[in-house]
Amino acid sequence: MKSSFSKYIEQYSADLTRLCISLCGNNADAEDLFQDTWLKALRGFDTYDGERPFDKWLFAICVNAFKNKTALFFNKKRYHFSSDEEMQSFFDSLPDTASEAHDRYYELHSAVCELPRKQRAALVLYYFREHSVSEVAEILGVPEGTVKSRLCAARRQIKRRLEHEQ
């Protein structure tokens, strides 16, 4: 079991890191979520159905851990970078981040972080992790229509925010 689980850690750690940063919006909370996710995955590994893709199972654990944590502690908190170094580290983790694009990424990041957590989770999984609507619905444990409405509401709110800033 340990060797097969280690293989999954090696294969999916980078993807999980990016998901955690996208959900949390800062490195400190993302690191906590990353650790919580792997711990829960290890504890529940004997229940993992090998017929199901591992990344969907892992991302569902991550999203549920994020929802539980935000419901308990950070339900009203908005995530922002705590330092310039943390912001730079985030941008370095993104593909194709020329310095002139940093302002656009920062505006988008801020707009995404201000979304309600349910909308933010759907948006991150759909756009940043490139899952289909049905996959997002499976990961979040909600109907596809709910995912579509959350995505629509999130896009509308981000559009308003970005238009307002210009």
- Reported as type and span, the H/E element at residue 147 is helix 144-165
What span, in angstroms and rounded, lies between the C-alpha atoms of 97 and 61?
29
What span, in angstroms and rounded, lies between the C-alpha atoms of 64 and 37?
9
Task: Identify residue 87 by its one-letter amino acid code.
Answer: M
Provide the whole-model pTM: 0.60
Give the pLDDT of the chain (166 residues) as one tens digit per residue.
556 888 888 999 999 998 888 888 788 888 999 999 999 999 999 888 888 899 999 999 998 898 887 665 444 444 455 666 766 666 666 555 455 566 677 777 778 888 898 899 899 888 888 889 999 998 888 999 999 999 999 999 998 888 876 6
* CB contact set of 123 (below 8 Å; sequence gap of 6+): 112, 115, 150, 151, 154, 155
Alpha-carbon dihedral sign for residues 135, 107, 82, 85: positive
In 3D space, the residue among 40, 91, 90 whose CA is nearest the CA of residue 69 turns out to be 40
pLDDT of residue 79: 47
Token readout for 109 is 């990041």
What span, in angstroms and rounded, lies between the C-alpha atoms of 139 and 133?
10
CATH assignment of the domain containing 61: 1.20.140.160
pLDDT of residue 84: 64
* Domain ranges, residue 30: 2-165
pLDDT of residue 49: 86
Alpha-carbon dihedral sign for residues 131, 135, 141, 143: positive
pLDDT of residue 69: 76
pLDDT of residue 74: 41
Number of domains in the chain: 1
